[in-house]
Structure 1
Amino acid sequence: MDLALALVEEDRGRRTALDVAKHLVLFLRRPGGQSQFSRALWSEQLSTDPIRAAVEAIHADPGGRHDIGDLAACAGLSPRHLQRRFTAELGVPPGGYVERVRVEAAQRALEDGEEPVDAIARRCGFGTAETLRRAFQRRLGVAPSDYRDRFRSTTTGGSR
């Protein structure tokens, strides 16, 4: 795969090679010892409307307040019942799901913009750059700034 991406980069440029690598969930140039980055597709069909309502609320505003009480109210369930049903249906508790969605939102922001990491952290619901860094380390095994360096979309015409 590394050779194939190098050939794509040589023939079609860095931007195309980066797009192919992201589509295939690969590094353009893979460093050793790093986990692969995969933007999860959270589009599985949910079997119940209350859980769907909670998930839609999370996706509508990843940086919003999504504590168990707020999500339970959105779903029309008690917090304890939401916790059980959410985990049973999605295989992850609501807090873990919220963190995943927030990390994905931060990934997109890091790839597509020049906004400072601390501003991205606040906008995506992490509060501080340190909290964002810890979530990235836990989920992706890399710091947000390193992620940005590897996956930033270049808007200028040439290669970086």
Structure 2
Amino acid sequence: MVGRLVAWVAEKRDSIRVHWVYQNHLKGRDWIKYIPCANSSWVWRRICKVKQDIAHGFVDRDWVVQPTRYTPAGCYEWFREARPPVHWSKVVWNDWAVPKHQFLGWLVAHEALNKVNKLVQYVLEVDDKFLMCGQSEECLSHLFFECQ
């Protein structure tokens, strides 16, 4: 959302906030090249940090990323690294699941559950057999699909 103020200043939007920034901070200097003073407030330094992060999205004071008008959602999509959709997302993130079960499903999908084989990795002396059946080592596929 701070990016919206940064975009307004870059576009020289007719706003009291933008006029205040130009009067009190920029004082005739170029906004894209502006670096705040060391004794500036932490809020102003944070705004300038956001400006530095998104500055390469502007060319000649215009936002050049899709959508061509700056929006926080568009900026978020621009920053986010593109990842292919995952096949399990609709199963885990749905309207009927309890949040606790959604989180557990997310951990399962990322193979991040704390299992016995994780304890074995930390050189703890434990039996790595599945406690319920004792037949196979404890893993997600055995836990959810193979165990009798």
The two structures have a TM-score, normalised by structure 1, of 0.24
TM-score (norm 2): 0.25
- Structure with the greater alpha carbon radius of gyration: 2
Greater relative contact order (CA < 8 Å, ≥ 6 in sequence): 1
